[in-house]
Amino acid sequence: MTVYGCMMRANLRVLTMVLVMISASLSGCLGGDDSSTEEYSGPIDLVVYYDTTSGVVETSSNNGQAGPTTGVELSFDFASTDSNDGDIEKIWIMPDDGSDTIEQDPADNAILTYTWLTHGVFSAMLGATDSAGNEHSIVVKVKIDMHIVWTDSNTASASMNFDATPDCEDGDPLPDRITFDSSAENTGGNPFIGGGSSEVSWSLNDPGGNETASQSGTIGDGQTETWSYTTRAVVEGVWSLNVEVTQGDNVNVNNDVTIAYAEGAESATNPRPQ
């Protein structure tokens, strides 16, 4: 055999080995075994439509008296869910806020609604059960922020407490930020003799009692001062927003506080096709 023939055979063997190695590396990319991916293969075709996966709870307090709370009601449409092994007998939601599972017969109403009254990013589990006992579920992330309006009238010392702990069962994630506008109004004295100014200080304390931010100012007779602030150094627990009159007339305090989670923490919406 010539030297040229030997070189050709050696090159062919190298090329064959390279092709085998490339083929092995591509087998995973082109659909080899993937034990981390679990596809549902049961008889239930779980189709759920929902227009919204986020909202804001509204609550208030006036002079120590709790006002009404308006929760976030979301709806989930199971009308297109069916099974190859029987009728769908039950649709349900586990809202992840410590409440019991809510369930109903889709023959009566295929749209299931639930109202969240607390804040957090909730892993709501939506599911269906057929007449043969088969069950299938999905998880939808629901982001609920909270807005609080708090007032105290004619006071020299006002302390508002609010809990930044998420109400979802795993307590994760924490709020992205706490934002507030706090105003103190010096309503003025007697219209005939007038009134004095008020020296006022604000402080925001974390659950450990540490002051994280503060502000102070002088409020003239009949005037209002406002402090606006946002903290992203959020820890779970009860925070306090304090307003103190260090000298002068009492004031009316109005606090507007929002506990908010990161945008995009919720699942994308899935509206019913038109």
Strand partners of residue 88: 130
Amino acid occupying residue 209: G
The upper half-sphere exposure of residue 236, i.e. CA atoms within 13 Å in the direction of its Cβ, equals 11
Per-residue confidence in pLDDT tens, the chain, 274 aa = 433 343 334 343 433 333 333 333 333 322 232 233 368 999 999 999 999 999 999 999 999 999 999 999 999 999 999 999 999 999 999 999 999 999 999 999 999 999 999 999 999 999 999 999 999 999 999 999 999 999 999 999 999 999 999 999 999 999 999 999 999 999 876 555 556 899 999 999 999 999 999 999 999 999 999 999 999 999 999 999 999 999 999 999 999 999 999 999 999 999 999 8
Q: What is the pLDDT of residue 194?
A: 58
Give DSSP secondary structure letters for 72-85.
EEEEEE-TT-EETT
Amino acid occupying residue 63: N
Residues 6+ apart with CB under 8 A from 19: none
Backbone angles phi, psi at 7, to 5 degrees: -65, -40
CB 241 within 8 A of CB 182: yes
CB 45 within 8 A of CB 21: no
pTM equals 0.83
User: What residue ranges define each of the domains in the chain, with the CATH number in brackets?
Assistant: 44-144 (2.60.40.10), 156-260 (2.60.120)
Strand partners of residue 222: none
